[in-house]
Chain A
């Protein structure tokens, strides 16, 4: 038989639960530390990159395709730019895209979700039908279509990903907000005569936020992968911007001969996506208690 959580059991049982969670928490810590390092690298790129100019349009044809060495830890690319410097500058682009997409789609998603969840009725129906329309298309396909129509640029990548991602946050927030709206403190506020928009902002929103925040952190990796995919297909960032997906695309044909050109930006994508994912999983496990 299992043990139910009776009111006085927690002091004993919760500590056990904590011990089970310690492993998950450690992993989340790894994610947080990794992400902090990546953010730091992005912020300090101009200071720590060995060849700051190589992050942009500089070229050194004579140094093309040098293998990793003391002077170029990650080697150099086809036009002789230091791959390490470009990976560091690429972090700026990738994180900018990730943060912009998550903020835009998160804000739109949460606002519409809280409105749908708290108002219910036809308001909810309308918002949910709109999200259905967006969710009916495969996300990457829709992003691709948009990116084709717009000019290839970092902004294009941000817009085309954000457009396809907000409905997920709307649906998630709406379902949480709907259940928060049935709780006693919302009824109590309604009985006090607090106006509906104030209730939505003051009580429903803050109490519906946690799962979305977890989802956002889980999705950071996904955004970076999608952005890399768009750039890889030539629909996003273009030369001379440093962007990991673009670097992978440019380097892939050289993989058998000059492996470092494609490998290091590829690893950067992998590590960042991984960091977001473990952090998100850790947060989820922590908040699920």
Chain B
């Protein structure tokens, strides 16, 4: 329906005050789903804020533009450029109760998007709100409700409807389901999957839930301590992790009826200041990890920043009995 756009981080470093929380991250989001995986404190949400133009990089650039042509640095955009960017890239945040103004009705919240981007008012606006609510599987009667009069799942659907109201090409989804019950979560994921197909949306999905990433994202990036430590096809990362942190994440996920999750230990260790940031938690750390920070390199179809990636991969090649 519309030409695809690309949004990317180019050697982006982000800081609050003098503390850098994201270091030299490069990634890009285009068609389909891209996952950004990490735990609290990994810098994934801060990176998302930068990609949404809410936070200016300390160094590096956030670039955006139509696919296949030159992308522009957000910092260099003029008024018109910003308006186009705001119309193309929309967020859905973790918690619908936070993301919706508690004093506004659903109609006012979604209507704000319509007025800002399409100068819609009156009946036309009301009809569009109704259509959007139906699109995300909500009763049009909810239009007069306020956030506290709805369930978590309903609020998240309203937040999605508001994002769709501007007819974006890319969604930045920051933990869109982690505040929800599992069955509600599953339905919201169904919705996102359907909408992405129908509207030809690209999306960046930020989450700590590997199961969600696997379902929606072809490509994924794993972040630890503000750095991307491994990126590549999602299924590859989850079935054959090459970074010990990706491995620890995957093995910690509880599986229905499976073996108990394997604790990786030393989760309280803070990221190392020198050498590899993961080394204090890493069961495979050697002298080289203390002396030299690993640089991301291409290994069997993915990028990985680990001195011992070959060993991690080799250990994973041993076929495990399939889990029930």
Contact = CB atoms under 8 A, between A and B. Distances in A.
Interface string A178-196: 0000011101111111100
Contacts of B270: none
A193 B117 contact: yes
Contact of B86 (A183, A184, A185, A193): A193
B185 to A, nearest CB: 14
B241 interface: no
A203 interface: yes
A63 to B, nearest CB: 57
A193 B94 CA distance: 20
Contact of A188 (B53, B87, B102, B162): B162
A253 interface: no
B101 A192 contact: no
A189 B52 CA distance: 12
A188 B112 CA distance: 11
A191 B90 contact: yes
B46 to A, nearest CB: 13
Interface in B98-153: 98-103, 112-113, 116-117
A188 B103 contact: no
Contacts of A187: 49, 52, 54, 91, 93, 99
Given A185-B98, A193-B116, A207 B103 contact: yes
B192 interface: no
A176 to B, nearest CB: 14
Contacts of A183: 98
B167 interface: no
B117 A185 contact: no
A92 to B, nearest CB: 35
A178 B91 CA distance: 21
Contacts of A193: 82-83, 86-87, 116-117
A204 to B, nearest CB: 10
A197 interface: no
A206 interface: yes
A189 B102 contact: no
A188 B91 contact: yes
Contact of A190 (B54, B95, B113): B54
A190 B95 CA distance: 17
B117 A192 contact: yes
Nearest to B114: A192
Contacts of B94: 184
Q: Which of A184, A187, A194 has the most CB of B within 10 A?
A: A184
Given A192-B116, A193-B117, A203-B101, A184 B54 contact: no
A191 B98 CA distance: 15
A192 B102 contact: no
A58 B234 CA distance: 91
B205 interface: no
Contacts of B116: 192-194
Leading 4 A-B pairs by shortest Cβ distance? A193-B86, A184-B98, A184-B99, A185-B101
12 contacts: A184-B94, A187-B91, A188-B93, A188-B99, A191-B86, A192-B162, A193-B82, A193-B83, A194-B112, A202-B101, A202-B112, A206-B103
Interface of A: 183-185, 187-194, 202-203, 206-207
